[in-house]
């Protein structure tokens, strides 16, 4: 690699960079190609710069993602540590291990340059949010996202791990590790002592504090106070934004969610699982951009994903001239919300059942020792998770309507009055959900409620 100090890459220097890193260069070479590389900056997210580097001969491409020490969409006036890319790399690797079909492979990490290289998710992969705006159905989306969330959340929680594995990092001394060697010459069993690595645990992600603090501010604080970077579809939503700042009950619920977000290390969460962090084709679902990853509440991921689907639902009427045009599509979104939660529930419980007699220390088998108590424990856990997800989902919806960062679903509605009508419905639903979430017992009730707004 080209060593030295951090420098910002552009479409020219990123090519030189790639040529200097054998692991990347080899990904792009072909045996007798002319190795002509091109690069294009394609970042359309809020935070970072993303380059696609392509060998024009072989057409092979890779992605280079670089973090600068500030927020791209705001500029240098809002600094943010570029170390975030280190946590993105670790999360991609851990989530890739737990859900390999749904996470792009990491090829290279450079801490000095604050960059990662990863698999290029080739066309027809597009950002899910853009697919939702275009009215495209993804029949496998719910199943894939349920699988991703169940695996990444369950296996990094105390429902699977011992407390020590969950909290610390390092190596663990294992004796009497049995190794079965199989060759043409001989079969034998070898017993030996070994050091094996602990899984990536809470301690390792504590360093992502600046990104957690950022979320605390933009999701749980800014929408409820006067802040110069907040904006909304004015003047239409002026009274709605003011009403948020006067709603005492809402503020109490938000404070509770902020406390769970900040204090509960339940599992390794993605931390920014909205519909622009998912790339899709009808067959493939890939989760990208986990730079906000840390050990936090599972419901924050589930809520982010479901809440952004609800935003997409409420945007549909504004995206077409005749709302009838998206009637079937809106039904598909609602079905996807319902299926995602139900399939997640099913998969999560199946993992719990399968591993209940393992190393997990949350529900010890000698205490939760009969089917009745096991069932009660699972039901309680899932009910809490459901209500957390609803609360976080609602908070994530609100911040996208009155906070600093909005969503293309609404922003692409050119007519401001029409946009405000869609946003108000989403806002009113989210406010109700945040305050009344504990009254809902199942996802079907949520779907019925969305239809009323
Ligand atoms: P940010 O952190 O700034 O939001 P993202 O990781 O979301 O950055 O990437 C920004 C954009 O770059 C994505 O919306 C997508 O269009 C593109 N992109 C990112 N990673 C990949 C990838 N592995 N393959 C193809 N495109 C990608
Ligand atoms: C200025 S806030 C930018 C937002 O974009 C990221 O995707 C996160 O959601 C962050 O809050
Ligand atoms: Mg992004
Ligand atoms: Mg990001």
8 A C-beta contact, residue 418 and residue 368: no
The domain limits of the chain are 13-119, 126-161+201-451, 172-197
Ligand sitting nearest the alpha carbon of 271:
2
Ligand sitting nearest the alpha carbon of 272:
2
Question: What ipTM, to 2 d.p.?
Answer: 0.99
Give residue 49 CA to ligand 1 midpoint distance, Å. Answer: 8
Domain 126-161+201-451 belongs to what architecture?
A: Alpha-Beta Complex (3.90)
pLDDT for the residue numbered 176 = 46
Ligand sitting nearest the alpha carbon of 307:
2
Cβ < 6 A, ligand 2 pocket: 46-47, 71, 73-74, 218, 272, 404-405
pLDDT for the residue numbered 171 = 55
Spell out the per-residue pLDDT of the chain, length 453, in tens.
445 899 999 999 999 999 999 999 889 976 555 568 999 999 999 999 999 999 998 899 999 999 999 999 999 999 999 999 999 999 999 999 999 999 999 999 999 999 999 999 999 999 999 999 999 999 999 999 999 999 999 999 999 999 988 987 655 554 444 444 444 334 444 444 555 555 568 988 999 999 999 999 999 999 999 999 999 999 999 999 999 999 999 999 999 999 999 999 999 999 999 999 999 999 999 999 999 999 999 999 999 999 999 999 999 999 999 988 999 999 999 999 999 999 999 999 999 999 999 999 999 999 999 999 999 999 999 999 999 999 999 999 999 999 999 999 999 999 999 999 999 999 999 999 999 999 999 999 999 999 999
In short, whether 317's Cβ falls inside 6 Å of ligand 1 is no
Give residue 272 CA to ligand 3 midpoint distance, Å. Answer: 8
Give residue 274 CA to ligand 2 midpoint distance, Å. Answer: 10
Domain 13-119, CATH number (from 3.30.365.10, 3.40.50.2000, 3.30.200.20, 3.20.20.70): 3.30.200.20
**Helix spans in 195-326 (H):** 202-205, 209-215, 238-246, 248-263, 298-319
Protein residue with its CA nearest to atom 6 in ligand 2 = 46
Alpha-carbon distance of 405 to 394, in angstroms, equals 15
Residue 367: partners with Cβ closer than 8 Å, 6 or more residues away: none
pLDDT for the residue numbered 198 = 55
Task: Record the tokens describing residue 349, joined without a space.
Answer: 């419980």
Which of the listed residues 47, 68, 274 should we mutate to test ligand 2's pocket, taking the one with most ligand atoms within 8 A of CB?
Answer: 47
Atom of ligand 1 nearest to the CA of 49: 3
């Amino acid at each position: 690699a080209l060593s030295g100090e951090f420098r910002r890459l552009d479409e020219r220097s990123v090519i030189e960079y790639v040529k200097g890193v054998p692991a990347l260069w080899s990904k792009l070479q072909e045996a007798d190609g002319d190795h002509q590389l091109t690069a294009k900056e394609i970042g359309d997210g809020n935070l970072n710069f993303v380059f696609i580097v392509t060998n024009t001969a072989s057409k092979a491409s890779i992605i280079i993602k670089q973090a600068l020490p500030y927020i791209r969409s705001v500029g240098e006036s809002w600094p943010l540590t570029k170390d975030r890319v280190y946590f993105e790399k670790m999360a991609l690797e851990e989530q890739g291990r737990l859900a390999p079909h749904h996470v792009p492979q990491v090829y290279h990490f450079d801490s000095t340059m604050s960059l990662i290289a990863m698999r290029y998710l080739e066309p027809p992969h597009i950002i899910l949010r853009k697919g939702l705006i275009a009215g495209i159905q993804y029949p496998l989306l719910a199943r894939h996202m349920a699988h991703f969330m169940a695996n990444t959340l369950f296996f990094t929680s105390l429902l699977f791990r011992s407390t020590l594995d969950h909290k610390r990092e390092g190596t663990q001394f294992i004796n009497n590790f049995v190794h079965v060697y199989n060759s043409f010459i001989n079969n034998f069993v070898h017993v030996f002592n070994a050091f094996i690595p602990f899984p990536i645990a809470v301690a390792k992600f504590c360093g992502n504090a600046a990104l957690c603090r950022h979320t605390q501010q933009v999701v749980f604080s800014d929408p409820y106070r006067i802040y110069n970077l907040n904006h909304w579809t004015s003047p239409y939503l002026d009274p709605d934004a003011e009403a948020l700042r006067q709603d005492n009950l809402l503020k109490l619920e938000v404070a509770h969610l902020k406390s769970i977000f900040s204090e509960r290390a339940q599992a390794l969460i993605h931390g920014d699982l909205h519909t622009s962090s998912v790339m899709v084709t009808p067959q493939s679902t890939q989760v990208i951009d986990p730079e906000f990853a840390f050990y936090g509440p599972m419901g924050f991921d589930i809520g982010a994903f479901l809440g952004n689907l609800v935003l997409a639902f409420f945007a549909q009427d504004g995206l077409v001239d005749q709302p009838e045009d998206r009637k079937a599509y809106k039904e598909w979104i609602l079905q996807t919300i319902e299926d995602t939660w139900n399939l997640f529930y099913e998969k999560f419980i199946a993992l719990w059942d399968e591993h209940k007699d393992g190393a997990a220390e949350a529900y010890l088998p000698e205490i939760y020792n009969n089917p009745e108590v096991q069932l009660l424990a699972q039901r309680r856990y899932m009910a809490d998770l459901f209500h957390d997800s609803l609360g976080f989902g609602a908070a994530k919806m609100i911040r996208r309507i009155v906070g600093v960062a909005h969503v293309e679903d609404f922003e692409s509605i050119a007519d401001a009055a029409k946009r405000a009508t869609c946003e108000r419905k989403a806002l009113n639903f989210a406010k109700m959900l945040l305050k009344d979430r504990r009254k809902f017992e199942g996802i079907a009730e949520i779907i019925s409620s969305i239809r009323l707004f």
